Amino acid sequence: MAYPFQLGFQDATSPIMEELLHFHDHTLMIVFLISSLVLYIISLMLTTKLTHTSTMDAQEVETIWTILPAIILILIALPSLRILYMMDEINNPSLTVKTMGHQWYWSYEYTDYEDLNFDSYMIPTQELKPGELRLLEVDNRVVLPMEMTIRMLISSEDVLHSWAVPSLGLKTDAIPGRLNQTTLMGTRPGLYYGQCSEICGSNHSFMPIVLELVPLAYFEKWSASML
């Protein structure tokens, strides 16, 4: 869960999000080094009146500043491609959940169970209990087992939506007539909040997502009570 004036990402709760955080730090360090070098060169050019004539017309310097950016781009592209392929992998999911976007709520169906489905609406501000979060709490949370591979099938009934949970590194578009899929695996129990991340109409801000990751034994009790 994000907190006020937070500058970085939310704490990672899945292996994919941990990889994304590492890649962000890796890329940010490269950007910081390049910015520092450019700022240093600009400051030198503004403060000195001397000109190194042999440097201004040197084939070696031109070769270096042509090859060096290409090497930097490769150092950014290779880790990025690795993470992209990791995010697309589906390895024998233990559970499949189908989520449908509506104007303006989400509906969920546990396809491995015969009759386990529900709608998830945002709780209005005047009905919130002490300690609950405004615009983020829902009447029916998505309860999922932790440390298990879960496949999410995402689509929409009406307009474009986007099912996003930042702490899990998830953001998948919900498109009418198309079934997108993504995987998640939570590494620790807790409540994880998300929101629709595609402008979908007047109440776009009022369709939050709440995942409750729990141990497998608790999930089995919950699923039995819902049937």
Q: Residue 61 is part of a domain; what is its CATH number?
A: 1.10.287.90
Q: Are residues 84 and 102 in the same domain?
A: no
- Domains in the chain: how many in total? 2
In the three-class reduction of DSSP (H, G, I as helix; E, B as strand; rest coil), residue 165 is classed as: strand
Tell me the CATH number at 147: 2.60.40.420
Q: Are 219 and 161 found together in one domain? A: yes
Does 23 reside within a domain? yes
For residues 81 and 183, membership in a common domain is answered with no
Q: CB–CB of 26/82 below 8 Å?
A: no
Is there a single domain that holds both residue 117 and residue 138?
A: yes
**Do residue 103 and residue 183 come from a single domain?**
yes
Place of tokens 């919900």: 174
Distances (CA, A) of 72 to 27, 31, 79, 87, 96: 10, 10, 12, 23, 40
Question: Which of these three, 23, 54, 88, is where a domain ends?
Answer: 88
- Kind and range of the H or E run holding 145: strand 142-145
Q: Is residue 112 part of a domain?
A: yes
Judgement on whether residues 103 and 213 belong to the same structural domain of the protein? yes
Collect all residues with Cβ–Cβ distance below 8 Å to 134 and sequence separation of at least 6.
Answer: 125, 128
- Residue 68: inside a domain, yes or no? yes
Do 155 and 55 fall within a single domain?
no
**So what's the pLDDT on residue 54?**
67
| Whether residue 84 is found in the same domain as residue 106 | no
Tokens representing 176 are 């009418």
Q: What is the pTM of this model?
A: 0.84
pLDDT in tens, 23-65: 999 999 999 999 999 999 889 888 887 766 666 667 777 888 8
Q: Tell me how far apart the alpha carbons of residues 122 and 15 are, in angstroms, rounded to a whole number.
A: 29
Identify whether residues 136 and 84 lie together within a single domain.
Answer: no
State the residue range of the domain holding 127.
Answer: 95-226
Q: Say whether both 109 and 189 belong to one domain.
A: yes
My answer on whether 75 and 180 are in the same domain is no
Q: Across the strands, what pairs with 152? A: 97, 182
Q: What letter would DSSP give residue 89?
A: -
SS3 226: helix
- CA-to-CA distance for 100 and 204, rounded, in angstroms? 15
- Among 62, 88, 114, give the residue marking a domain's end: 88
Instruction: Looking at the structure, tell me whether residues 133 and 174 fall in a common domain.
Output: yes
Could you tell me if residue 3 is inside a domain?
no
Residue 113 falls inside a structural domain: yes
101: nearest Cα among 211, 202, 204, 22: 204
Across the range 178-187, mean pLDDT stands at 92
pLDDT tens for residues 82-106?
999 988 887 789 999 999 999 999 9
List, for residues 133-158, the tens digit of each pLDDT value.
999 999 999 999 999 999 999 999 99
Percent of residues, the chain, with pLDDT higher than 90: 74
Residue 52 maps to a domain: yes
4 located within any domain: no
Q: What is the pLDDT, as a whole number, of residue 57?
A: 67
- Write down the mean pLDDT value for the chain: 91
